[in-house]
Amino acid sequence: MSDEILINVTPPETRVAVVENGVLQDVMIERARSRGLVGNIYKGRVCRVLPGMQAVFVDVGLERAAFLHVSDLNAAEREKAVDNQIELVFREGQDLVVQVVKDPIGAKGARLTTEVSVPSVYQVYMPYAKVSGVSQRIECDAERARLRACVEGFQRDHNTGGFIVRTAAEGVDEAALRADMLFLQKLWNSIAQRIKTVKVKTLLHEDLPLAMRVLRDLHCSKVEKIRVDSRETYSRLLKFGKEFVTETVPLIEHYSGERPLFDLYGVEEEIQRALERKVALKSGGYLIFDQTEAMTTVDVNTGAFVGGRNLEETIFKTNLEAAQTIARQLRLRNLGGIIIIDFIDMQDEDHKQQVLQALSKSLEKDHAKNSISEVSALGLVEMTRKRTRESLEHVLCEPCPTCSGRGMLKTAETVCLEIFREIIREVRQYNVQELLVLASNEVVERLLDEEADMLSELETFLNVTVKFRAEAQYNQEQYDVVLL
């Protein structure tokens, strides 16, 4: 099986699926009305300095002010911020150039950095930095030394900022690398000219559309095919590839089949499953994902898996399979921040280490930075995964208007008892003889059936007549008590 990148394009949105060995690993979605902001460079203005948070809010023209923390300053600014005193660097009303490193998520504004960078195929250029580096994914010491020498030589010849050599540069000849660095330098020079002339709250540089970013960032030796179902986007990708990523040109194919591209690979079904709480394991066990604003929890259960020799072996095998599935699901669902994994308790220390190693190994393919803790005494593993964009659930879904995102509704019995208390409250406050209760069909039916005796006793005790009307548009928790 080959690793493939599938690109589905319609006027409202572009979707990209990364399929590795026939299994969906990643989904990226960009909608025309809400393109991501990560990588965009703005000329902004400081609107508030918060010494207690070691941060400032910056107005870059977005709906909410963006957030800049002292840890995201460039090297020169960090030197000025003695003991992280950001007020020594910025003042309200000051103009500055910033770049978005994290999209607005929920009620939070975008997160910014002043360590501006511009990416290309082989390098990332950092105009305000002086040091350069090589991607840690390039493991060969000789190749790392060659790439570093190439970059440092270009820096000396052209008096430029710093460069980070990307994984795609491995094995690329020096001429292509220098041409790439020259392109980045020219691009930054054009941005620098705009900085001098444009007004504040102006977008200086916007990152490429999703399809082009994929070609730039995701191509590697493992990718054997890039299939796109839009002829227009196919032509753009070919043009972009010929100019910047020549090695990808033979991989790009236009898909013109009658069956939708994502259906052909089962991607649509996988996306639907990635929105569910429960994830089945092949062994018969299952995982439960609960995403909250503070963190994501993952619960591992043996389910129908009874195992073989003994309970410890059954638990160990379930946890091993869960570790691999969790790594894939985190990437597919794009879950970030704090993640708590509740593995089934293991007694054997060697088993704990093997499960941790399996999780760590499975996360190696993840492009998002992550870190994992040891297994706690309760069998919990704490980990973090860098979040730069909304999760798949937040992109495709919204909170349920009925339960307000709680995932639970009060029972009809609970609502009936609330209505009884409200009737008592109304009668005692207004001394009325007749009331009308508006509620959902389920609640009214229960009031007139299971709760009929209780209702009769209440009417007699309060000397009041209660009428009911079912409202089809009311959810199970909604009701009104109207004075007649």
Q: For residue 403, name the pLDDT band (cuts at 50, 70, 90).
A: confident
Amino acid identity of 438? L
How far from 390 is each of 33, 228, 453, 458, CA to CA, in Å?
15, 24, 51, 51
Q: What confidence score (pLDDT) does residue 143 get?
A: 94
Task: List the chain domain ranges.
Answer: 3-35+209-268, 117-190, 275-396, 412-483
How far is C-alpha 211 from the geometric centre of its chain's CA atoms? 18
DSSP for 43-103, written as a single string? EEEEEEEEGGGTEEEEE-SSSS-EEEEGGGS-HHHHHHSGGG-GGGT--TT-EEEEEEEE-
Which distant-in-sequence residues (6+ apart) come within 8 Å of 145 by Cβ?
none
Q: Is the dihedral of CA 83, 89, 91, 93 positive or negative?
A: negative
Q: Report which of 340, 315, 311, 347 is spatially closest to residue 326, judged by C-alpha positions.
A: 340
**Strands of the sheet with 223-228, listed across from one edge:** 23-31, 13-20, 3-9, 223-228, 252-254
Report whether pLDDT(331) > 50: yes
Q: 378 near 346, Cβ under 8 Å?
A: no
Burial of 1 (0-12, 13-18, 19+ CB in 10 A): exposed
Model confidence pLDDT, tens digit, residues 46-93: 999 999 999 999 999 998 999 999 999 999 899 999 989 999 999 999
Distance from C-alpha of 261 to C-alpha of 412, rounded to nearest angstrom: 45
Q: What confidence score (pLDDT) does residue 220 get?
A: 66
Taking the alpha carbons at both ends of the chain, their separation in whole angstroms is 72
Q: What confidence score (pLDDT) does residue 377 get?
A: 75
Model confidence pLDDT, tens digit, residues 143-167: 999 999 999 999 999 999 999 999 8
Q: Which helix (H) or strand (E) holds 358?
A: helix 349-363
State the pTM of this model: 0.80
With respect to CATH, is domain 3-35+209-268 assigned 3.40.50.720? no
CATH T-level topology, domain 412-483:
Hypothetical Protein Ychn; Chain: A, (3.40.1260)
Among the ranges 218-227, 307-316, 430-439, which has the highest mean pLDDT value? 430-439
Distance from C-alpha of 467 to C-alpha of 481, rounded to nearest angstrom: 10
Q: 388 near 103, Cβ under 8 Å?
A: yes
- Inter-helix orientation angle 412-430/452-462, to 10°: 10
Average of per-residue pLDDT across 17-39: 89
